[in-house]
């Protein structure tokens, strides 16, 4: 079983650098998928209220018998519940069947609502009350981070954003890291689209690895947290094995050179869906 490295967040909480994401995993399939991930060796599970599968994650955690302190669980606040963050958080805890989570994130800034700074102050209280060991943000661009930091007593621990070889968000990454905010990459493989580049496939052949392992190793080499998603036990094991793969600096640079601005998800500057 692969040994997953850990990163220390800015409040000294330790987070496994490679996790298992359940975005787009149907609620009816979530328990089975998470049980398989835990069996494979994952201890970091990332969900969100908007995914509607927190209860499946919770059922898998309970069935696993793994000690709570050996797990790292992340969930996120829905856009449509930003005005009732504490109640939404309590509902997430209930769905997960947990007394606390390890990381709670504002899922999107939704600048049209202009609530995200107010919401951040509520997340600070949630952490202070022991509801979450760390709090952070997701999909926050530099202007959103600057607004939060101007009002914050706590600096966000994490900014979870879309990053893959053809979308790297360098400005957001640089500002986040300048303030000690860890970067967590979602859609880390470009939802599969970035695996067919010759740079990636050539490195896969050179290292006797899969293209997915090469791209995940690229993320890990930069110190990012990464949460690939799959419901295949074989690919779960394959993704975990990327922690044993070391890329040379020139190989990392070759993948970094694939930047093309290819955003797959919504633009955080304008995204305004409710997730309800």
Q: What is the set of active-site residues?
A: 51
14-16 and 6-8 strand pairing: antiparallel
247 and 218 in contact (C-beta within 8 Å)?
yes
Q: Which of 187, 249, 177 is nearest to 218 (CA)?
A: 249
186 DSSP β-pair partners: 162
* Residues making up the chain, counted from first to last: 276
Report, in this order, helix, strand and coil percent for the chain, each rounded to 5: 45, 15, 40
Q: Distance between CA atoms of 211 and 74, rounded to whole angstroms? A: 27
Q: What sections of 23-84 are H helices per DSSP?
A: 27-40, 54-64
Biggest alpha carbon–alpha carbon distance for the chain:
51
> CA 76 from chain center: how many Å?
10
Query: Can you tell me whether residue 77 is helix, strand or coil?
Result: strand
Instruction: Output the six-digit token pair for 112.
Output: 């049209």
Sign of the torsion angle spanned by Cα atoms 50, 56, 59, 63? negative
Q: Cβ of 114: how many Cβ atoms within 10 Å?
A: 11
């Amino acid at each position: 079983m692969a040994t997953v490295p850990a990163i220390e967040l800015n409040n000294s909480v330790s987070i496994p650098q490679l996790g298992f994401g359940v975005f787009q995993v149907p609620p009816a399939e979530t328990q089975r998928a998470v049980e398989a991930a835990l069996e494979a060796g994952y201890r970091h599970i990332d969900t969100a209220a908007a995914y509607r599968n927190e209860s499946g994650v919770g059922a898998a955690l309970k069935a696993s018998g793994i000690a709570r302190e050996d797990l790292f669980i992340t969930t996120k606040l829905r856009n449509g519940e930003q005005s009732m963050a504490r109640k939404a958080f309590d509902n997430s805890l209930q769905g997960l069947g947990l007394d606390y989570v390890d990381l709670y994130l504002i899922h999107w800034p939704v600048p049209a609502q202009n609530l995200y700074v107010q919401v951040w102050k509520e997340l600070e209280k949630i952490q202070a009350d022991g509801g979450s060991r760390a709090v952070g943000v997701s999909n926050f661009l530099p202007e959103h981070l600057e607004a939060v930091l101007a009002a914050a007593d706590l600096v966000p621990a994490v900014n979870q954003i879309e990053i893959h070889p053809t979308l790297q968000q360098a400005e957001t990454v640089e500002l986040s890291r300048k303030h000690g905010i860890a970067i967590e990459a979602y859609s880390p493989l470009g939802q599969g689209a970035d695996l067919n580049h010759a740079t990636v496939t050539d490195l896969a052949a050179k290292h006797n690895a899969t293209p997915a392992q090469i791209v995940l190793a690229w993320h890990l080499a930069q110190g990012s947290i990464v949460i690939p998603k799959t419901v295949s036990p074989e690919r779960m094991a394959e993704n975990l094995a990327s922690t044993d793969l070391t890329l040379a600096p020139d190989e990392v640079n070759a993948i970094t050179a694939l930047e093309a601005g290819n955003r797959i998800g919504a633009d955080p500057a304008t995204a305004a869906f409710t997730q309800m």
